[in-house]
Amino acid sequence: MTLLVVLACVLLAVLLLYHGLGFWAWVLPAFAVLAWCAWSNPDDRPVYGWIGIAVLTLAIVAGLPPVRRVLLGAPLLRLLAPIFPKMSDTERIALEAGTVWWDAELFSGRPNWKRIVEFAPLPLSEKERKFLDGPCKQLCEMIDDNAIRRDGDLPKEVWDFIKREKFMGMIIPEAQGGLGFSAVANSSVVAMLSSRSVTASVTVMVPNSLGPAELLLHYGTEEQKRYYLPKLANGEEVPCFALTEPHAGSDAGGMLSKGVVQKGVFEGKETLGLSLTWNKRYITLAPVATVLGLAFRLYDPDKLLGGDVDRGITCALIPTKTKGVVIGHRHDPLSIPFQNGPTSGDNVFVPIDWIIGGPEMAGQGWRMLMECLSAGRSISLPANSVGGAQLATRVVSAYAAIREQFNMAIGRFEGVEQPVARIGGTMYWMNALRVVTAGSVDAGEKPAVVSAIAKCWSTEAMRRVIDDAMDITGGAGICKGPRNTLAAAYQAVPIGITVEGANILTRTMIVFGQGAIRCHPFALKEMQAAAARDVKHFDAAFFGHVEFVFTNMARSLVLGLTGGMFASVPSGGRAAWTMKKLTRMSATFALLSDAAMGTLGGSLKRKEKITGRLADALAWMYIACAVVNRHVADGGKRDQAYFEWATAEALYNVQEALRGVLDNLPNRAAALALRPFAFPLGARLRPPTDRTTAACARAMIEGGEGRARLTAAMFVPGAKDPGLGRLERALELTLSVDPLRKKLRDAQKAKILPRDTEDAVLDEAVRKNVLTQAERDRVLEAWKARDDAIQVDDYAPGEYRKQRG
């Protein structure tokens, strides 16, 4: 009986921890056990009484903060303060920049689903919709991407149109001459353009991302804003921003470019200024820029500005006509001819007032860059990836429906169904991720961690989508020319993966490395309190952290045993099932994150395989949240196959990432002890089923509203377009005659019609009244359209050399 009481009390402790009772979750069951033992063993009551006094004493010491602070908090602070990792100013600024958002919910182990589900991205305004339907589509219609890649640049009329319609000023407010678009609208424009031309989308994307306009809006002096913003908006000034250099890529803080504060002569007058020396590369728009945003380390050896000699990273705006500025040379990024190249300067003297924000902002460049990076990273590359992936989705769904082998559309073969479905399901979550992350910027967030997730996982997803699309289209995908709509996207994939923080670094160091400290409810507070030797705040953070670990241990166990059954979620259906599973994964993620931090300490930052897996888990949970948000916003009924595929994929990837952490945690004793709490019934989640895969593939190749919604952000050209336009026309005609083609197949099975050439079968069908003459003409028109759409480009020798440039 006593054993049963003890087990019941242990269960009570677990349940109390599950519900967040924390410290008292073990005190109350302990007193219950002692009371039972004293009642059932009268002779030993004095012993149990002394044990009760000891438990009560421990409860007072550990449970009352003023007492605990003196007896435990202060000694622990002295012991642990030297162990906590020290933060450099660069790391501190990066951590403090931006805001935490849904990522904090996922780190909590107890996501607030009401907050996640009810978040509504800002809808497009009437003005933004008119721009998308007007100038944006006009620009897409003007573009011949094959000619752009052949000629090495956008045509002059396209450049002029981009400037005249203020594509470069989407983020600049109307009062300062720009369009004043929302982040979602900015994202939608980039997505549409990238579905037509990577070169055009990058040309528009970069001025509206991290660069002169963004920095001026937040930090520029009023004089700088008045002068530059209207000219940047209408294209009179073409900006670039020079950050990367040969010895400072992902480690931008290690740049060698420098500026020295000194007096000199500028335009005939003695001026306090900067002598700048730099050597930058990979700078988009640099070859054609009229104004150069430059990041450099500033030194003030004579202390003309006061303060330290090394003032830190600083940003300035330099007209490229300034004497000594070198631009014009171009890189060739995988034959995608957006303007990109190096820039350099040697002892270029400029006035001190050219620092963005004026002399007062000297040395504040790193903070400026970190605070603005999250907004641009939330928009540009996720949108660019979505546009390219939507193009591939549209191409593949049409091609798989019209391309036939063995008298059947290739999309009906199970081997092809799988990549077709993978494209559709991936496209569904990519667009959800794009809209939600851009929407967070409109809501006033600067989401440092989720913007990194959006950039990294969107560009990786585009790589997978394009690879699948190339596999499905086969020879039609690899023969370049006007008919080929995938080659440019395939060539451009590594560009998005490399820029704005290479994905390898983003995954292994930024997403979890920054997220673990910034989003964790206690980690940053502990570090700050330890650095300040603040006993009160350290005590609260440290013991809050201990309580947090045991709470998540209990929650992970209970939710793992019940499949998340008891998790509280705000809606029903498949979305509710997904949210319950995500709640369970969130608790396990929080537990294993603390286990990794606790057992590895400061060396965790060097265990990039572990941090990479934890980043995978966090990213896929965030992606699943975005999918749930989209599905609930759609009423919980539309695009069910895509939703089920995307959530199954995300949940399975979370599970496998967390299993990988346990399988490879260096402290094997800790891993062994945690496994029953993390996966008490084993790994039970599975990837998308064959049934879900088949449903996704059918929805893709059968056209209809689901396919249209999946590719709603892209530009769909008319029938005269040699690439996608031809495919779309062939698909439309093919779907319209499917019932007639079924009649032909049935007649052939019944031996009424022979198996012969298309023309012969159709003529015989009319003679035998299987089809009318009008029906025969419709079927033949569809056949000719299919035959035309699957052709590829070829060239005479002279034409081939011209095509190659």
Q: How far apart are the C-alpha atoms of 472 and 422, rounded to whole Å? A: 12
- Decide if pLDDT at 16 tops 50: no
Range in 28-37, 279-288, 509-518 with the lowest mean pLDDT: 28-37
Higher model confidence: residue 101 or residue 23? Answer: 101
Higher model confidence: residue 385 or residue 570? Answer: 385
Output the pLDDT for position 543. 80
Q: How far apart are the C-alpha atoms of 226 and 666, rounded to whole Å? A: 57
- Decide if pLDDT at 327 tops 50: yes
Active site residue 500: yes
Is residue 378 within 8 Å of 433, Cβ to Cβ?
no
Q: How far apart are the C-alpha atoms of 327 and 315, rounded to whole Å? A: 18
222-234: per-residue pLDDT in tens? 999 999 999 999 9
Q: How far apart are the C-alpha atoms of 377 and 312, rounded to whole Å? A: 24
DSSP, res 665: -
Higher model confidence: residue 426 or residue 209? Answer: 426
Output the pLDDT for position 66. 82
Confidence of residue 13 (pLDDT cuts 50, 70, 90): very low
| 54 CB-near residues (< 8 Å, 6+ apart) | none
Output the pLDDT for position 531. 84
Q: What rounded mean pLDDT belongs to the chain?
A: 90
Output the pLDDT for position 6. 46
**472, two tokens:** 């499905």
Which of 437, 447, 305, 479 lies closest to 372, judged by CA? 447
- Decide if pLDDT at 501 tops 90: no
Confidence of residue 27 (pLDDT cuts 50, 70, 90): low
HSE (side-chain half, CA atoms, 13 Å) at 88:
5
Strand-pairing partners, residue 299, are 260, 310
The distance in angstroms from the start CA to the end CA of the chain is 88
Range in 57-61, 137-141, 625-629 with the lowest mean pLDDT: 57-61
**261, two tokens:** 């504060």
Which of 726, 712, 741, 709 lies closest to 793, judged by CA? 726
Q: How far apart are the C-alpha atoms of 90 and 82, rounded to whole Å? A: 20
Q: How far apart are the C-alpha atoms of 568 and 556, rounded to whole Å? A: 14
Q: How far apart are the C-alpha atoms of 373 and 530, rounded to whole Å? A: 29
- Decide if pLDDT at 415 tops 90: yes
- Which position among 245, 500, 526, 775 bears the catalytic label? 500
Work out the average pLDDT over 270-297: 96
Range in 73-77, 128-132, 414-418 with the lowest mean pLDDT: 73-77
Is residue 489 within 8 Å of 71, Cβ to Cβ?
no
Whether the CA torsion 153, 158, 159, 165 is positive or negative: it is: negative
H/E segment holding residue 678: helix 668-678
- Decide if pLDDT at 718 tops 70: yes
101-144: per-residue pLDDT in tens? 999 999 999 999 999 999 999 999 999 999 999 999 999 999 99
Strands 408-409 and 404-405: antiparallel
Whether the CA torsion 124, 127, 128, 131 is positive or negative: it is: positive
Is residue 773 within 8 Å of 766, Cβ to Cβ?
yes
Output the pLDDT for position 84. 74
| Beta-strand runs (E) in 367-423 | 404-405, 408-409
Output the pLDDT for position 251. 76
Is residue 373 within 8 Å of 380, Cβ to Cβ?
no
Q: Which residue has the tokens 């990367």?
A: 244
Cα Rg, the chain, nearest whole Å: 31
Q: How far apart are the C-alpha atoms of 200 and 141, rounded to whole Å? A: 12
- Decide if pLDDT at 625 tops 80: yes
Output the pLDDT for position 211. 85
Output the pLDDT for position 15. 47
Output the pLDDT for position 409. 92
